């Protein structure tokens, strides 16, 4: 009894000195997380609240802020044509950009074979994703040039008249989306190629014995196994569509007469560009864009969570 008591006090003394030791299991993960949390807070979480705060002000980014309440949002959502154009362009981007997923899938299926030099072909198909977006934009804007461009040379072979895709307010957005599909398809292709490596050959074998081939094989056997890859491809493509900016800036600078603006570009234009001194208004656009993105991200997170729960 006595010995155990002294032993106890001895322990207690050491425990008081080693408070960390006692809570080690609970604390260590947080210690490891602190740098990440810190940076995430400083560069992501806090700026979100700052943006919202700024969006209630009129501010030129240099001088003093002036509180205007919801005036920025009222103007944005009631009578701002630039906002309407940008919003609908965002919708176009969202839907058409998704074409990168089936395109990437088919290229991946095509390249998923073992022939001489396949690594080289794969790298060549992946190449556009490695290129800087600025380079992609430049290459495509030369391709679209109204007189010297390759596109019009090709059209001329078929006797079709010259088109100035980037100069036509009805076509320019589609022209830019087509350009952006080039690298995005390569991205989706890589996702699917890695996914295809994980496809279970035994299941394919079994399906073949049951007489499945062609589309049926793809739809009922391969695709379900590619679900994780498809999920990631969806996420990156949708987020990519919503934050499209660089190509627009390089290829048309938002023009002709603002017809290729999207929300992110409009925000940049209002707050940070050559004539943009309207931080408050820009922040309001950013907040709207944030909520649109949040909708998608929340959906993805929720479906991911549901899946994990189902797997458990």
Q: Which is nearer to other proteins, 183 or 254 (CB)?
A: 254
CB 146 within 8 A of CB 167: yes
Produce one character per residue of 250-288: b if its CB has 16 or more CB atoms within 10 Å, e if not: bbbebeeebbbbbbbbbbbbbbebeebbbbbbbbbbbbb
Q: Which is nearer to other proteins, 274 or 308 (CB)?
A: 274
CB 278 within 8 A of CB 269: no
Q: Which is nearer to other proteins, 60 or 246 (CB)?
A: 60
CB of 171 to other proteins, least distance (A): 12
CB of 257 to other proteins, least distance (A): 4
**HSE-CB for 236 with a 13 A CA cutoff:** 18
Q: Which is nearer to other proteins, 72 or 237 (CB)?
A: 72
**HSE-CB for 251 with a 13 A CA cutoff:** 34
Count each helix (H run) and each strand (E run) in the chain, helices first: 18, 2
Q: Which is nearer to other proteins, 166 or 181 (CB)?
A: 166
CB of 200 to other proteins, least distance (A): 52
CB of 256 to other proteins, least distance (A): 4
CB of 278 to other proteins, least distance (A): 7
Q: How far apart, in whole angstroms, are the C-alpha atoms of residue 193 and residue 119?
A: 12
Contact partners, residue 258, CB within 8 Å, separation at least 6: 82, 85
Q: Partners of 58 in the beta sheet?
A: 66
Residues contributing to the site for other proteins (CB under 8 A):
60-63, 79, 81, 145-147, 164, 166-167, 252-253, 255-258, 269, 272-278
**What pairing do the DSSP bridges indicate for beta strands 66-67 and 57-58?**
antiparallel
CB of 310 to other proteins, least distance (A): 48
CB 175 within 8 A of CB 144: yes
CB of 291 to other proteins, least distance (A): 25
| 3-state class (DSSP) for residue 67 | strand
Q: Which is nearer to other proteins, 111 or 166 (CB)?
A: 166
Q: Which is nearer to other proteins, 71 or 96 (CB)?
A: 71
């Amino acid at each position: 009894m006595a010995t155990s008591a002294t032993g106890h006090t001895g322990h207690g003394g050491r425990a008081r000195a080693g408070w960390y030791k006692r809570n080690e299991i609970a604390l260590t993960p947080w210690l490891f997380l602190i740098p990440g949390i810190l940076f995430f807070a400083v560069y992501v979480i806090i700026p979100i609240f700052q943006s919202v705060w700024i969006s209630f002000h009129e501010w030129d980014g240099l001088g003093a802020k002036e509180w205007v309440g919801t005036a920025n949002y009222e103007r944005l959502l009631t009578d701002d044509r630039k906002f309407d154009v940008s919003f609908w362009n965002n919708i176009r981007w969202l839907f058409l950009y998704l074409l990168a997923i089936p395109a990437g899938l088919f290229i991946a299926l095509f390249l998923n074979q073992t022939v001489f030099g396949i690594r080289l072909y794969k790298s060549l198909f992946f190449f556009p994703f490695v290129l800087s977006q600025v380079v992609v934009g430049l290459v495509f804007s030369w391709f679209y040039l109204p007189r010297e461009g390759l596109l019009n040379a090709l059209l001329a072979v078929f006797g079709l008249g010259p088109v100035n895709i980037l100069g036509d307010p009805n076509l320019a957005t589609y022209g830019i989306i087509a350009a952006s599909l080039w690298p995005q398809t390569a991205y989706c292709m890589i996702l699917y190629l890695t996914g295809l490596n994980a496809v279970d050959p035994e299941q394919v074998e079994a399906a073949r014995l049951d007489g499945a081939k062609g589309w049926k094989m793809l739809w009922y056997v391969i695709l379900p196994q590619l679900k994780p890859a498809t999920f990631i491809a969806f996420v990156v493509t949708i987020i990519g569509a919503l934050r499209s900016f660089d190509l627009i800036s390089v290829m048309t600078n938002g023009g002709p007469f603002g017809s290729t603006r999207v929300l992110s570009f409009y925000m940049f234009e209002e707050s940070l560009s050559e004539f943009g001194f309207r931080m408050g208004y820009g922040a309001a656009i950013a907040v709207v864009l944030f909520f649109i993105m949040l909708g998608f991200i929340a959906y993805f997170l929720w479906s991911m969570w549901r899946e994990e729960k189902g797997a458990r």
